[in-house]
Every structure is written in C-alpha cells, then in structure tokens.
Chain A
C-alpha cells in the first residue's frame, strides 16, 4: 500500500536526514518516534506529498506520488491521504460540518460518511459550531474527522497528542486506531510523546534513542 524507497532529503548539504525505507500494507500501523529536529515532520511531509524528496520514491497503491505534478498531486492527496497536525487548524470562518464538506469539495467526493464520522468521534452535537467554541480535545477530533472525510487509504498524524492532556491524548490515539482499522487504512503517527508508545506496537525510532 505505502512504499517509501531510498529517500534522501536535506535542508542543508552537510545535514542529511536518515530516512528509512518503509513498506506498509493496508491496515498496518506504524509509530515513528524521534526527538525534535530529528526529521519526523519532514518524513511525514514527504510521505504526504507535501515535500518533494531529492531522491527516491513514494508509492501509494502503486502510484508514484512525485511523478504526479501540481493539481494532480493535490487531488491525489485529497483523495488518498488524510493528514492530522499537532494543532487542529480548523478553518475558523467555517463550521465543523463545513470544514468536512470543504475536504469533500476539494477532492470531489460526496461526503456521505460525514455524519457517521462526527458521531463516531463524539462531536456530532457540535457540527454547526464554529471552531472558537470548541475545546482543544474537540478541535483535535474535528481535525481527525476532516482528515478522514474522504476515506483516505493513508492516515498521517504529526504529533497529534502534543497539546492534549493525558485523557484526551489517549482518546485521540484510540480514535485514530479505530478509524484506521475501520477504513483498513495505513496509519502512521510521528511523535516524541511517550504516552503514545504503549498503543502501537510497530515502532521505529529515528535520529537516535528517545
């Protein structure tokens, strides 16, 4: 499903990132651990089609991500990859529901699952709410719902628990796992948060031991 081969990337010439090859099947989950500055987010950006690596290729469902150009890559990303960030980044002028619909609009899907998603994540009562009326935990759940609105094959989460308390953090990881299993999607979480360690057995560490 997700294959990353011989990827090389560096921001500066003397500071190369060590990026492991990956090969994940549908439904597989992976936790990438690493300290700040170890290149976790860079890996995620490369896997998510946001940052073109200098060498190597990322194959999703047989499609070489970086052979797609411009708008095609954007569309592919919208349809196949759901990305969750450390901060929820809900678009403030839109309601919760409209945030999901926007994701549907950009990727051209019908959004039939939006209702179920919101109730699965326990925020369907907030669907008409604006982002500034949500709590941190709720907002992060909305961002998960939005990332999943197009039923992606790959779910990438970048420090999804960093700004949450223990209870919410555990909840968010649980929800991510649940949804990934439900859609039979690949789930990759990158984090330095030790609280996530116990939830996902398949782990790699980059940039030295945490």
Chain B
C-alpha cells in the first residue's frame, strides 16, 4: 500500500464519476493536441517547401494564390506570363537563380509540373529509380505518385487539362515515365515533373514530331522561336538588397506580380489564426469545466469521506499525508485525462489522414509526437493540483476527535 495506490483505490471505487471527469478533460486536451499537431506540421511543411525560394513571380492576381499554386501546388495558378518578360527578368543583376514553371495539367489529381533540373536541385532531389527526363513527354514521378498510382519506369499515361482530376484529356501525347524520385517528405512527393517543353507541346495544335526528339533544356529557359508562355517563376535573390528592390521593381511593371512566400504564408496563418484562436478558446473552456468537475467531485466525495480521513489519522496518517492523498487523486485524474486526450488527438489526425489521401491534410502524420505534448501533461497536472487544493486543504484540517464523535 502506498499513497498512489490509496488514491487510485478511492478513484476506482467511483468508476462512472472518474470516467466522466477523465473523458471531459481528455476531450479538451484532444482539441489542443490536434491544433498543436496540425499547426506544427503545416508550419514545418510550409517552411520546408518554401526553402530556397525568395520570391515567386507570376501573372497579376492574388499574391497568396500565386504562392499556394506555385510553391505548394494547392491552389489554381493566377494565369500565364509572357516568356520574354520572364527572360528579361532573369537578366536582372539582383537575380541569382530563376526557375520557370509551366502548370495547368494533371494526371488523376496529381499535378504535372513543367520545369527544369534546377527545380529538382532546389530540393536536392535524387532519382531513386531510372533517370531524369531528357526528351519532351518524359516525366519523373514523385515517390507518392508512383506508389499510389502503381506506376513504374516505362509506363505511359495521358495527362488531363486542369489541375483537378476528370477534366478533358490530352489524348494525343502520352507521357513516358523515365524516373521515380526518392521519398522527399515535401511537396515533390505529390508531383509529376517534366520539362516545360512537354507542357507546351501538349497544348500545341500542330504536331511537329521532329522537335519531340530533341533534348529539352536542363536549366534556364528553353530555346524557342515561337511566342511562349510560362506560369510562374521561382526566384532566388543575389543579395539582401534584392529583397527590397526586386519586388517593388517587378510589381511596378504591369504584366507581372511578385510575391514572397514567407510574407504570404505568415499572412495566411494570421487569417487562419482567428479560427484557431476560436477553437483554442473552446478547448480552454472545456478544460476549465473539466477542472471544475474534478473540484466538485473531490469536494462532494470529501463530505462522505471525512470519517475515512479521520480513521486514517487514527491509523497514523499525518495531516500532510491526507493533503497529498487528495491532491494525488486530482493529479491521477488529470494525468490520465491528458494521456487519453493526446491519444484521442493522434487518433483523430490518423482518421483524418486516412479519409483524405490527397491535398493538404494528407501530408499530416499521426505518429509525430511533439515536445509541446509534454506541456499538455504539465498543464493537466496543474489543473489537477488547482482543482484539488481546496478539498485537500479541508482534508488537511480534519479534526479527528470531532469527526469521530459526530457519527
């Protein structure tokens, strides 16, 4: 027998009451857990995906939309820009590196991105199997695309126009898979990568089969005599000065728009922050109610238990031990509540991910445990201690003789 076991015995003597208190607290903490997990994983994923990209240039429109479509590949592109404008920009002395992107097609919901090797090198992506594309209509699949669609090297598929599945198909030009990337843990996993030329030729009406056999540009812009467009440009600054001058310079020109990923994403989180705060508030209210529930349960049980406490004193328990006995009950309740809450939170994310195998949510993982979750347990223990302080103090002050004579 020890203090922990004694408190535990008293708790399980009232299983319904104890269960309800644990569940209520767990619910509040589960919400907090889900918020923490989503926030952390979204933030780290967003930072990871935008690493190395200082500025995105595209057609005029919503800057946030430009970032979401070109960096994270979750929104629609804002439109196309003229390649001459893009090439002019690449000659600017403030630009260190520029990666063109041709977006707008998909295969079964996975986006086909026309770009060059620089884009792969930006994320240090290695080909796990096969090789990178060399000719038009050769593609490299992200790891997840390959596994989910069950495609391998040498397989063919036909892309569809638009960025969601089931739009009209470009039935003239099948793509050939030449390589599959390593699992990257970032946005590349969900992309089908190819050359800009592939994207152009898919949309062309004439079929000049000679140019289909030429090697594509591996870096910079493809050479062409025609009027061509790209969707957006990923840009790296040459020096800190560029961060000040370049966006202003680009935005002042009528056809182009520049947006900074870090700025837009912090703006996005600011917008989402209102909703997050609301849910957080709700969770805190639930936790406070749970704390009150524990307080009331302990306080009520104390009335019935005054005699038990007095008997414990006659058996040699000190007032301090009785105090600890009651506080321990509160702490056991809340620690269990915290553990159950964290498990429910992870289970919830797990179910959420299972039901969404594409899109932003599917990148979450339920098996990631964060240091912040230890804080949840710490907060829970604090709630337990606070809720049990008054009942414990009243147990501390039990007047043995009076209590024993009263019955």
Interface residues of A (CB under 8 A from B): 41, 45, 48, 50-51, 70-71, 74-75, 77-79, 81, 83, 85, 87, 89, 91-94, 98, 101-107, 146, 150
CB-CB nearest in chain A for B400: A50
Could you say which residues of chain B place their CB within 8 Å of the CB of A89?
Answer: 307-308, 311
Docked CA distance A127–B377 (Å)? 37
State whether A106 touches B311 (Cβ < 8 A). no
Docked CA distance A101–B320 (Å)? 19
State whether A50 touches B314 (Cβ < 8 A). yes
B16 to chain A, nearest CB (A): 14
| Nearest 7 CB-CB pairings of A with B | A78-B316, A93-B13, A71-B318, A106-B316, A51-B401, A107-B316, A101-B1
Within 8 A of A (CB), among B355-407: 400-401, 404-405, 407
Indicate whether A48 sits within 8 Å of B314 (C-beta atoms), given known contacts A92-B13, A105-B2, A106-B321: yes
State whether A103 touches B318 (Cβ < 8 A). no
Could you say which residues of chain B place their CB within 8 Å of the CB of A101?
Answer: 1
State whether A50 touches B401 (Cβ < 8 A). yes
Could you say which residues of chain B place their CB within 8 Å of the CB of A93?
Answer: 9-10, 12-13
Interface of chain A, main secondary structure? helix
CB-CB nearest in chain B for A79: B316
Could you say which residues of chain B place their CB within 8 Å of the CB of A74?
Answer: 313, 316-319
- Ordered by A's residue number, 21 sampled pairs between the chains whose C-beta atoms are within 8 Å are A50-B400, A50-B401, A74-B319, A75-B318, A77-B314, A77-B316, A78-B315, A81-B314, A83-B314, A89-B308, A91-B308, A91-B312, A93-B12, A98-B1, A102-B1, A102-B312, A103-B315, A104-B1, A105-B2, A106-B315, A106-B321
CB-CB nearest in chain A for B320: A71
State whether B1 touches A45 (Cβ < 8 A). no
Could you say which residues of chain A place their CB within 8 Å of the CB of B6?
Answer: 94, 102, 105
Could you say which residues of chain B place their CB within 8 Å of the CB of A45?
Answer: 400-401, 404-405
Docked CA distance A83–B319 (Å)? 18
Docked CA distance A127–B407 (Å)? 26
**Residue in B1, B10, B312, B407 whose CB lies within 8 Å of A87:** B407
Could you say which residues of chain B place their CB within 8 Å of the CB of A41?
Answer: 404-405
CB-CB nearest in chain B for A111: B1
Could you say which residues of chain B place their CB within 8 Å of the CB of A103?
Answer: 315-316
Docked CA distance A93–B314 (Å)? 18
